[in-house]
Amino acid sequence: MTERPSVRARRNISSVALGVWHYVRRAPGTMIWLAILFATTAVAHSLSPEHLHVVLGNRSTNLHHLAEDPLRVLLLSALWIDGGLWVSYLFLYNIFHVPAERWLGTLRWLWVVAVAHVGATYISEGVLYMAIRDGVARPSAVNTLDVGVSYALAGVVGVLTYRIATPWRYVYLLGALGWYGLGFVGRITFTDIGHFTALLLGLACYPLTRANREVWDPVETLKSWFEHTGTSGQEQH
């Protein structure tokens, strides 16, 4: 008996929905974070540039706010995107945060995110403080706008080094060091220092990876994919 198109369509929709749910539930922290970023990005696009600057300024981890109310701004600054499209973060979070959370578990992944975000913020702002003290930067830099999720992302990029099998691990590490090291070519900003620091802090989170020593071999993954593709092609013939 031929299956009715409507029944087949419902079955396909149910299969897709189950697949999406299975994907989401394996990295709940990342998905909740993305949902919050989607909401705050929507709010940001609804505001005038002047109002948005005030909103982000109140959540900035600049020297002034770190001295007055550090816990509040450290949390809130990680819930807003400073420019850029949410879709680009959707892509980056699925490339880096999702595999990291699945590998480490939500709690250890959160530790990496916190260490990178908080540590890189304080170190980069500390460098800025010394630059102001020494007259290299203007005193008004204490109110510099500093929000976003890039330090946490850099930390996760760093810790994922230990997820990759050798020798590809070293290729990945050189690529990460090169990417974040580009900020040191030319005029260096405190944000460049923050990104590179966050990467190093992610690498320093190696002890958090010891509970799961399973590694991913990209070459073996490609071989398996090509073998599966070839087998599927032969079956269709």
Q: Cβ neighbours of residue 93 under 8 Å, at least 6 residues apart?
A: 30, 33, 34, 153
pLDDT for 8 equals: 65
- pLDDT, tens digit (0-9, with 9 covering 90-100), for 120-172: 999 999 999 999 999 989 999 998 889 999 999 999 999 999 999 999 999 99
Percent of all residues in the chain with a pLDDT value above 70, rounded to a whole number: 90
So where are the chain's domains? Answer: 27-236
pLDDT, mean of residues 100-129: 97
Residue 230 has pLDDT above 70, yes or no: no
State the burial class of residue 136 (Cβ atoms within 10 Å of its Cβ: 0-12, 13-18, 19+): exposed
What is 27-236's CATH number?
Answer: 1.20.1540
pLDDT, mean of residues 8-37: 83
